[in-house]
């Protein structure tokens, strides 16, 4: 049997709005993925460590506070430093269009903004996870 | 009367039979949760004198003041704050000049969670979703040239509410304004932080102590201050339904009243200063019914359960904010219309104060221009629409009265269930309230994705869109500036005095019978920072760890 895709849903930074993260987590689980949720206020170091310990294929982060330009790239950097080259890293939240090119350049595979269907996230993961 | 009922029933049956064919042609509109038509039959158990009555009269269904907006309009209180104290001070003065009648401070996340701007955990967050406040020095700048004796200020602050209130009192002292003249509100509602919003610091028990300490201190020293704003807003934003919003919030309110009574306070000494905070969603009539039902429930809770004697203790006064979660990033100008409808709901529902969201808030913090449109929306509703001319204009509507009854019943079912679980604190500790909210949020999302729930511009009537230009960006240098300011302030203050005040605060934290407010106020006056004060409390009280169950 094929190994199920494992996803870490993470909330980096101090923002406590986790409606989006929890809805996405549940939709991913309903789509057949194994989902681990970190809870709030995770530092980039904690997220990278959890990804390593849990041996995940995907890290899906959510931020609404505007701290994404600082925190998203930092997670990518730490994850790659730990040798997890295949882990797919995606992000979402209140993220202005103008910020997206820089995030992609930093290694965020895709950024999902408000109004996204959870089905589109599922599809993206299935198509891009290695 | 019963003859009349039979007559209406017969005519209703005939009507239903006559439209059956027409309705069958539109199956997509057949399964809405509401009945097609409401008649006197739907409110036959409602008694005008007991259940509805007059404005300013128990159970306050029609409003808490006898004259409502025929006396004066609600407070138009725009929520604002970003970047540094200097920048936010400019925005406040701009809003006051534009006719806003109250201030509402948004603090950045490090401030809300009790960290200084130079803490490593604050990196990337300083000044982003609100203003950064590290010490009294920042608060003095925030209210520079704003007379605290004249303006009323609401502060969206919860876990460290005691510290920010102390800073506000201290700024007042410096301006020559006595604490008894200060008017405003601190949100100070920790239970909804555990259940829905996430900016908690300490575990529930010490958090409840801080809240009751504030109730007691203010009842003696800052009598015009609203000591808590029990908030359903965030519960709704996290995904709850209208009934859940008021049920969970009123259960939290019950927990605060119980804690205060247990701490030895007389219910009528503090209950008059409890206030509420509701969300205004898109479904205008359901929302009006929600506001009306909430007043009736709280009045009954205070009278029947807590035996309050003063009328003021039974009146549910509330601030409203239009629903941020209902704004779309798609076709953002449509949000102006949504906000106008939500404003109409809040006004017909009898709010005491209102914040209207700006059209661009699903994208970023609002620009000055967007904030102006949002404020003008309130002014147009107030001065041009006629909605504020008549008190509780929808009373007597078969539908609105039936909906008010239905929401009230659904809320009581939840409140009773939470009581059986041992109250709101235990229900939150068990994860029950969080689970109910998450289930509703997930159902909403699935309904949107299936198209059962139409969101204009998102799942219907989409267009190709150009990226929105001119969004507000908080300069990333804010964090560095704020750190520098903090270092300069620390070099100038009397560090011995700070140390002494913090040692004294720590001792007070360890003595459960001591009110912490005077000690926090002393620490604030020495320019001890928010982080230093909260760290003392963290050391004694510990930190809350949330459930991560899905």
Q: What is the pLDDT of residues B351-394, one digit of tens each?
A: 999 999 999 998 888 888 999 999 999 999 999 999 999 999 99
Cα dihedral B243, B452, B323, A92 sign:
positive
Burial class (CB in 10 A: 0-12, 13-18, 19+), B497: middle
| Contact present, B282 and B338 (Cβ < 8 Å) | yes
* Across B459-478, average pLDDT: 87
Angle CA(B408)–CA(B414)–CA(B420) in degrees, nearest 5?
135
Q: What is the pLDDT of residues A56-87, one digit of tens each?
A: 999 999 999 889 999 999 999 999 999 999 99
A-B CB pairs within 8 A amount to 104
Q: What is the pLDDT of residues B197-213, one digit of tens each?
A: 999 999 999 999 999 99
pLDDT at B290 exceeding the cut of 60: yes
Is the peptide bond preceding residue B59 cis, with omega within 30 degrees of 0? yes
Q: What is the 3-state secondary structure (H, E, C) of B57-112?
A: CCCCCCCCCCCHHHCCCCEEEEEECCECHHHHHHHHHHHHHCCCCEEEEEECHHHH
Helix (H, G, I), strand (E, B) or coil at B316: coil
Burial class (CB in 10 A: 0-12, 13-18, 19+), B389: exposed
At residue A1 the predicted structure's pLDDT band, cuts being 50, 70 and 90, is low
Chain A residues in contact with B124 (beta carbon < 8 A): 13, 67, 69-71
User: Is B367 in CB contact (< 8 Å) with chain A?
Assistant: no
User: Is A15 in CB contact (< 8 Å) with chain B?
Assistant: yes
User: Which of A10, A11, A14 would best serve as a mutation to test chain B binding (most B beta carbons within 10 A)?
Assistant: A14
pLDDT at A3 exceeding the cut of 80: no
User: Which of B198, B457, B466, B478 would best serve as a mutation to test chain A binding (most A beta carbons within 10 A)?
Assistant: B198
Smallest CA–CA separation between A95 and chain B, in Å? 7
- Which single residue is written with the structure tokens 């912490």? B516
Whether B471 sits inside 8 A of A35 (CB atoms) is: no
Q: What is the pLDDT of residues A9-67, one digit of tens each?
A: 999 999 999 999 999 999 999 999 999 999 999 999 999 999 999 999 999 999 998 89
Whole-number mean pLDDT of chain A?
A: 95
| Dist CA B451 CA B454 (whole Å) | 6
Between the two ends of chain A, the Cα-to-Cα distance in Å is 17
Whole-number mean pLDDT of chain B?
A: 95
pLDDT at B476 exceeding the cut of 80: no
Percent of chain B past pLDDT 70, that is, above it, reads: 100
User: The complex's ipTM?
Assistant: 0.94
pTM, rounded to two decimals: 0.94
Smallest CA–CA separation between A14 and chain B, in Å? 6
- Would you list the DSSP string of A66-106? S-HHHHHHHHHHHHHHTT--S-EEEEEES--GGGHHHHHHT
pLDDT at B549 exceeding the cut of 80: no
- Which single residue is written with the structure tokens 């000049």? B97
CA atoms within 13 A on the CB side of B16: 11
Check residue B106 and give its pLDDT.
94
pLDDT at B158 exceeding the cut of 90: yes
Q: What is the pLDDT of residues B85-144, one digit of tens each?
A: 999 999 899 888 888 778 889 999 999 999 999 999 999 999 998 999 999 999 999 999
Whether B199 sits inside 8 A of A14 (CB atoms) is: yes
Q: What is the pLDDT of residues B14-50, one digit of tens each?
A: 999 999 998 888 888 877 889 999 999 999 999 999 9
Instruction: Return the exposure string of B162-183: e unless at least 16 CB atoms fall within 10 Å of the residue's CB, then b.
Output: bbbbbbbbbbbeeeebebeebb
| Contact present, B257 and B227 (Cβ < 8 Å) | no
What residues 34-73 of chain A have any CB closer than 8 A to a CB of chain B? 35, 37-41, 43, 65-67, 69-71
Q: What is the pLDDT of residues B393-425, one digit of tens each?
A: 999 999 999 999 999 999 999 999 999 999 999
């Amino acid at each position: 049997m094929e190994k199920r895709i494992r996803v870490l849903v993470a909330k980096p930074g101090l923002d406590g709005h986790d409606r989006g993260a929890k809805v996405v987590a549940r939709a991913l689980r309903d789509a057949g993925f194994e989902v681990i949720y970190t809870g709030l206020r995770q530092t980039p170091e904690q997220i990278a460590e959890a990804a390593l310990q849990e041996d995940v294929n995907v890290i899906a982060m959510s931020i609404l506070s505007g701290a994404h330009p600082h925190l998203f790239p930092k997670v990518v950097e730490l994850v790659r430093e730990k040798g997890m080259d295949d882990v797919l890293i995606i992000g979402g939240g209140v993220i202005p269009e103008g910020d997206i090119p820089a995030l992609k350049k930093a290694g965020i595979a895709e950024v999902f903004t408000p109004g996204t269907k959870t089905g589109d996230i599922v599809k993206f993961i299935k198509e891009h996870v290695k | 009367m019963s003859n009349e009922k039979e007559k209406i029933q017969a005519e209703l049956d005939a009507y239903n039979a006559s439209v059956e064919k027409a309705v069958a042609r539109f199956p997509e509109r057949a399964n809405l949760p509401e009945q097609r038509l409401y008649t006197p039959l739907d409110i036959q158990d409602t008694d005008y004198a007991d259940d509805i009555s007059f404005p300013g009269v128990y159970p306050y269904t029609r409003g808490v003041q006898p004259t409502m907006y025929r006396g004066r309009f609600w407070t138009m209180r725009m929520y604002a704050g970003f970047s540094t104290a200097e920048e936010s001070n400019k925005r406040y003065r701009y809003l006051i000049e534009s006719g806003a009648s109250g201030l509402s401070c948004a603090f950045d996340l490090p401030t809300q969670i009790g960290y200084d701007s130079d803490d490593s955990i604050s990196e990337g967050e300083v000044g982003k979703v609100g203003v950064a406040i590290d010490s009294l020095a920042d608060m003095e700048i925030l209210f520079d040239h704003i007379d605290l004796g004249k303006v009323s200020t609401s502060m969206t602050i919860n876990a460290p509410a005691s510290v920010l209130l102390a800073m506000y009192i201290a700024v007042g002292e410096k301006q020559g304004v006595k604490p008894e003249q200060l008017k405003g509100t601190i949100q100070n509602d920790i239970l909804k932080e555990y259940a829905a919003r996430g900016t908690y610091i300490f575990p529930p028990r010490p958090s409840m102590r801080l809240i009751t300490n504030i109730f007691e201190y203010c009842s003696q020293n800052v009598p015009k201050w609203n000591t808590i704003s029990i908030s359903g807003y965030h519960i709704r934003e996290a995904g709850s339904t209208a009934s859940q919003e008021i049920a969970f919030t009123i259960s939290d309110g019950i927990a605060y009243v119980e804690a205060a009574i247990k701490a030895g306070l007389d219910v009528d000494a503090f209950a008059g200063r409890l206030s509420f905070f509701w969300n205004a969603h898109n479904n205008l009539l359901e929302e009006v019914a929600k506001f009306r039902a909430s007043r009736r429930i709280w009045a009954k809770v205070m009278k029947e359960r807590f035996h309050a004697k003063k009328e003021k203790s039974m009146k549910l006064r509330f601030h409203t904010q239009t629903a941020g979660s209902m704004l779309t990033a798609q076709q953002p100008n449509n949000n102006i219309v949504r906000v106008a409808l939500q404003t109409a709901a809040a006004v017909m529902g009898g709010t005491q104060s209102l914040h209207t969201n700006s059209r661009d808030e699903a994208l970023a913090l609002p620009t000055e221009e967007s904030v102006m449109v949002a404020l003008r929306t309130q002014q147009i509703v107030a001065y041009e629409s006629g909605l504020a001319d008549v008190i509780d204009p929808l009373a007597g509507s078969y539908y609105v009265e039936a909906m008010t009854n239905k929401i009230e019943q659904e809320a009581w079912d939840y409140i009773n269930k939470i009581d059986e679980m041992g109250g709101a604190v235990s229900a939150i500790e068990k994860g029950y309230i969080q689970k109910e909210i998450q289930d509703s949020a997930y159902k909403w999302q699935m309904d949107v994705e299936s198209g059962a729930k139409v969101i204009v511009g998102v799942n219907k009537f989409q267009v190709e869109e150009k990226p929105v230009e001119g969004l507000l960006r908080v300069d990333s240098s804010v964090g560095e500036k704020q750190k520098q300011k903090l270092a300069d302030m620390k070099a100038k203050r009397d560090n011995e005095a700070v140390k002494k005040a913090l040692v004294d605060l720590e001792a007070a934290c360890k003595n459960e019978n001591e009110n912490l407010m005077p000690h926090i106020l002393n620490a604030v006056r020495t320019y001890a920072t928010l982080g230093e004060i909260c760290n003392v409390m963290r050391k004694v009280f510990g930190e809350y760890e949330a459930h991560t169950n899905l």
